[in-house]
Amino acid sequence: MHNEILTIGPVTIYGYGLMIAIGIFSAYFLAEYRARRIGLDEEAVFGLTCWAVAAGLAGGKILYYMTTFREILADPSLLLEIADGFVIYGALIGGVAGVVLYCRRKGLNCLSYFDLAVPSVALAQGFGRIGCLLAGCCYGRETDSPIGIVFHASEYAPNGVALIPTQIISSILDFAHFAVLIVFARKYKKGEGQVAGLFFVLYSAGRFFLEFLRGDAERGNIGVLSTSQFIAVFMFLFGCILFFYLGKRGQSVKGACAVSIIGGSSGPTSIFLAGKDTSAEGEEKRRRREKRLEQWKEKIPAEPHTLEEVERYLTEKWQAERLAGEDREVVRMEQALRTTLVLTHRPELLSEPEPEPIDQKASKKEQIAFVEQLQKRFDEAEKISSEEFPMDFSVYRIYPEREERRDPEDEAACSRLDIQIEKNWQVLQTSFQHSEEGEEEKIKEIVKDIYRYYGVTEEDKEKGTERFLMLVHVLEEQPDE
């Protein structure tokens, strides 16, 4: 392999340094992009990257000096060779220390930013190992297998003999780790810090077994294990503890952050009970949400329309049909919305008092009593009549595939979108069902279009009203945490 990529006058661009630079920049831009998406402070990513890289380089160099201590004693001038010799585990340990120090200095949640950083670290490592291949360092043992690679002008690897391509194997593993971490963070993460724990598990396991294939001797030994294998054992155990403990803790926190009732005409169908979350993690989530909403305030233009205009828009653009007021579904929807509005906006109509909040340490008996009181309050709200709480309510229905519908009589089998409008309290809400795969996305695009048209005022954005929050929710296609 050739490490000297390009020479312009006195300047030479080396493959190893180029790949390291590509890895660092890729890691930085990925972290900044993900921070923006999940609501972390994207402005902190630059400082975090600088601290992590600086501390990582120092850690990698220090551990290299430790593993070559005898050689340095014999020739102290080796200490002056700053550009050569780094140990990746030292870089990881140093990088972790840099992240911790930076987060403490800025008052950030370390676990959240570790989860943000580790997929970027895996990505950077993948590029870094390509640099190792170009330079010929971190090479494998001699082999007779057909996958062996031969170096001809390496300053590190033995030239002219077939070696196991440990750099390529390691790079593939790192890119695979990156993909696994991204998917896990997006779909399966249950607690802050879990992604970091998974990274330590994956990397240490892969590195432990990869060490059996390595042929470079300057890595040090502790007993029968190489220095990297010795560290990998403890890193693997640490990662497992981090992954399972934080996952379990995350489940308990998520189960104890709010009280919400989802109900219908026959009472609540599910009740989520939780206490007040005063943990640092709760504060971090609140801060993320506020930052995300500030970003949406700048992004969403103030172009409001009235509900009367929305009704015309529905019928003209989407050929929506207004359902008859006596329709059973309309009656059920109106009753459900009346119950919700009474609970949220007219609690003085209820004789049943609102229960005192309880925290997550409450006994089971206290939790049951709390739920029972909520149920009584819900039942009373459900009995409020239209005379006591009048509403200007209507329902419009859109059939996205009406032209393709073969049996117009079979309404239940059709994909449809219902838009509920209540003008007294300025309520616009939607619900839908889809009968065929792929139609859900089409309906969601219609919902987005409707809410974009309804829009928000400058006052909605400034005060963060329900109208503004609902538009943000729809545009993001995910619930607000």
Q: What DSSP string runs through 213-263?
A: GB---TT-EETTEEHHHHHHHHHHHHHHHHHHHHHHHHHHHHTTS--EEEE
The Cα-based distances of 10 to 13, 16, 18, 19, 396 in angstroms read: 10, 18, 17, 20, 73
Q: What is the arithmetic mean of pLDDT over 441-446?
A: 87
CA–CA separation, 27 vs 256, rounded Å? 34
DSSP state of 347: G
The alpha carbon of residue 150 and the mean position of all alpha carbons in its chain are separated, in whole angstroms, by 42
Task: Give the start-to-end residue ranges of the domains of the chain.
Answer: 4-254
Q: Which two tokens stand for residue 344?
A: 């949220």
**What pLDDT sits at residue 252?**
47
Of the candidates 460, 455, 435, 432, which has an alpha carbon nearest to the alpha carbon of residue 445? 432
Distance in angstroms (rounded) separating the CA atoms of residues 94 and 53:
8
The tokens describing 237, both together, are: 């155990």
- The mean-pLDDT minimum among 120-134, 263-277, 369-383, 389-403 falls in 263-277
pLDDT tens digits, residue range 153-169?
888 888 889 999 999 99
Largest separation between any pair of C-alpha atoms in the chain: 96
Residue 211 phi, psi (nearest 5):
-60, -30
**50-82 pLDDT, tens per residue?**
998 899 888 888 877 777 777 777 777 666 666
SS3 350: coil
Residue 365 has pLDDT above 70, yes or no: yes
Per-residue pLDDT at 75 = 74
pLDDT digits (tens, 9 = 90+) for 269-298: 333 333 344 444 456 667 778 888 888 898
- Picking from 401, 472, 408, the residue whose alpha carbon sits closest to that of residue 440 is 401
